[in-house]
Structures are given as C-alpha cells and as structure tokens.
C-alpha cells in the first residue's frame, strides 16, 4: 500500500507537497514547519496546525485526522479533494541539473567600477576639450622695423592638439561595462538551464539569443525575465525536493521589462529610466540566488 502523502503551507502562503509524514517531521525538526503551519493529508476534514496533528513533534507514532472543529476558521486554503488534483511530477522529485554558480558580487563590482571609470574618462575628456577650445584664441603681435615705426599688427593662432587620455579612460570603462553585460547574459542562460527538466517555455539559447533581435526583443524581454519567474515558481511549487528553494516575485520580473518598454514614452520614460537600474539589479540578485541554490543542491549526494 502506498504511503500517505502530506501537504503543508509555506511562509509565502503557497501549498507545498506531496511529501511523506517522515519529511513532515524532518521539516518540523529543522523549524521549516512551525507549530502554527497548516498541514493536510487526504481524509482530513481541513487544513490543521502542525501542533494539532499527533506525531509531527514526536508526541506519538501515529497520526489522527483532525476533526472539523480542529480546522482553523481563517484558513486561506481549501482542502484538496485528492492528491492527484495537484500538479506534481509522478515521482515528486525534480531532476536537478548541474549548473555553475553566479556571483552577484562580481557583477555588481564590475558594474560600479565600469561606471566610475567611464565617468572619470568623460570628465577628463570634457576638461581637455574645454582647454583646447580656449587655446585657439587669436594672439595679436606687433612687429617693429629698424626705424622704430610700428608695422600694422598681424594675428597669429596657437593650436593645441587635445590629449586622448580621456578617450582612453572611457574606453577602459566601457569595456568593463560590456563585460558586465556579457555576465548578465551568462547568468540568464544558467537560470533557464535549470528549468529545462521542468518543461520550460523556451531554451537557454533562445532566451538569451532572441534578446539581440531588434524590435522583437521588446517582446522577448518579457519571455526571458517574466517568463522565467513564472516557470521557476511553477516548477519550484510542483516538486517536493524544491520546497526549500527561494521563490521570486513575478511582479518584479514583470516590472523590469515594462520599464524598458516605457522608456520610449516621453516624460514617463524618464521615470522608467530612473527606476529600471534598481529593479534590474534586484532581478539579477534573485536569479543568482536561485541558480546558486540549485548549484548547491546538484552537488549534494542523492
């Protein structure tokens, strides 16, 4: 006879499972499941606090279904009719692919360094340009003949070739920023790579490559970022071995592409341009967090 499967509500009010009762006890032991956490199995009248179910905290070797009076009135869930009604994989375990970690610290460090060096180069260039313009002023020279009579004045122009130091510094800063952009695409590729066993809506190559198609990328950015958030949360919530993985805000990953699209709108685009860098950094940080969690999980023995 198959072992009874259980479900529980995580801290984000998302239904997790199915898992075994032994796993319920494990989660309770490491405090992932709190005494007030709602749990349920088929046959119970409703979702019930873990502290009310015998055996969760080792007070009994058996479990008794909660009576209707034990169900919490403010429970936001409805008890599933059957465990089969919940979308889970046949085994309940997600085949975690091998993936390299993403360093958000490296990304942020390169971004800040590139921006500072580029700004310094621009200041140097503007200073050199201003000095060059100031040096091209006419200079009046009086010539005298041997009889001490003045000859009509003539004008000479001094020319000064501006230095290319500022341009060189800007090129260095721009190269670092270009490397940062490449790193962003590497992280995005890895993020889509971990979704492939879960029937992701696109491949890693397409997710990154189609962003380079003019005009079409205004649509594809929604697929690459918002679509990734949707797929990840779906996969994460459908497999028992991913319940400890971080979730991502689907609204945040929708706001980023919207900001990019709105930048072409007068006035409103200015606000979007100011907001997008901060949203973008949070998106990259979330992607790195998920990829790194999966990288750690892929290195653990089965």
For the chain, give the percent of residues with pLDDT over 70: 75
Q: How many C-beta neighbours within 10 Å does residue 137 have?
A: 8
- Under DSSP, the state recorded for 138 is E
- DSSP, collapsed to helix, strand or coil, labels residue 158 as coil
Token pair 């706001």 is found at: 255
pLDDT tens, position by position, 69-113: 343 434 444 444 433 333 334 346 888 899 999 999 999 999 999
pLDDT of residue 2: 56
CA distance 162 to 128: 6
Of 128 and 166, more confident: 166
Confidence class of residue 290 from pLDDT cuts 50, 70 and 90? Answer: very high
For the segment 193-201, the average pLDDT, to the nearest whole number, is 92
Write the secondary structure of 77-123 as one string of H (helix), E (strand) and C (coil). Answer: CCCCCCHHHCCCCCCCCCCCCCCCCCCHHHHHHHHHHHHHHHHHHHH
Class of the CATH-defined domain 6-72: alpha beta
For the chain, give the percent of residues with pLDDT over 90: 44
CA distance 281 to 213: 23
> Taking a C-beta distance cutoff of 8 angstroms, is the pair 207, 228 a contact?
yes
pLDDT of residue 7: 87
- Under DSSP, the state recorded for 52 is G
Strands 48-49 and 38-41: antiparallel
pLDDT of residue 91: 40
Residue 150 phi/psi, 5-degree rounding, is -75, 135
224: Cβ contacts below 8 Å, ≥ 6 apart: 188, 192, 202, 207, 208, 210, 211
Residue 14 phi/psi, 5-degree rounding, is -110, 140
122 pLDDT higher than 50? yes
pLDDT of residue 9: 85
pTM attached to this predicted model? 0.61
Confidence class of residue 133 from pLDDT cuts 50, 70 and 90? Answer: low
For the segment 268-290, the average pLDDT, to the nearest whole number, is 94
Q: How many C-beta neighbours within 10 Å does residue 279 have?
A: 18
pLDDT tens, position by position, 19-52: 888 888 888 888 889 888 889 887 787 788 888 8
pLDDT of residue 142: 52
pLDDT tens, position by position, 219-275: 999 999 999 999 999 999 988 889 889 999 999 999 999 999 998 888 888 998 999
CA distance 173 to 118: 4
pLDDT of residue 108: 96
Q: What angle is formed at CA 162 by the lines to CA 157 and CA 168, rounded to 5 degrees?
A: 170
pLDDT of residue 134: 58
Q: What angle is formed at CA 234 by the lines to CA 229 and CA 235, rounded to 5 degrees?
A: 100
């Amino acid at each position: 006879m198959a072992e009874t499967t259980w479900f529980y509500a995580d801290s984000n009010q998302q239904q997790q499972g199915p898992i075994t009762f032994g796993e319920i006890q494990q989660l309770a032991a490491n405090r992932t499941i709190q005494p007030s956490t709602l749990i349920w199995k088929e046959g119970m009248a409703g979702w019930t606090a873990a502290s009310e179910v015998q055996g969760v905290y080792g007070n009994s070797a058996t479990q008794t279904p909660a009576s209707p009076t034990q169900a919490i009135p403010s429970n936001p869930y409805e008890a599933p009719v059957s465990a089969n009604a919940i979308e889970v994989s046949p085994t309940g375990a997600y085949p975690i692919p091998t993936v390299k970690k993403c360093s958000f610290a490296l990304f942020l460090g390169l971004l800040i360094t590139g921006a500072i060096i580029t700004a310094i180069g621009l200041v140097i260039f503007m200073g050199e340009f201003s000095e060059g313009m100031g040096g091209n002023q006419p200079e009046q020279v009086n010539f005298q003949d041997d009889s001490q009579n003045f000859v009509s004045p003539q004008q000479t122009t001094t020319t000064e070739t501006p230095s290319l130091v500022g341009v060189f510094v800007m090129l260095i800063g721009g190269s670092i920023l270009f490397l940062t952009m490449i790193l962003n695409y590497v992280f995005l590729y890895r993020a889509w790579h971990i979704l492939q066993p879960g029937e992701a809506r696109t491949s890693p190559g397409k997710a990154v490559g189609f962003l380079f198609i003019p005009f079409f990328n205004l649509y594809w950015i929604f697929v690459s970022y918002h679509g990734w958030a949707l797929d990840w949360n779906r996969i994460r919530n459908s497999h028992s071995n991913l319940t400890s993985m971080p979730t991502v805000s689907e609204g945040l990953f929708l706001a980023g592409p919207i900001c990019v699209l709105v930048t072409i709108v007068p006035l409103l685009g200015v606000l979007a341009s100011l907001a997008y860098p901060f949203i973008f950094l949070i998106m990259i940080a979330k992607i790195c967090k998920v990829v790194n969690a999966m990288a750690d999980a892929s290195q653990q023995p089965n």
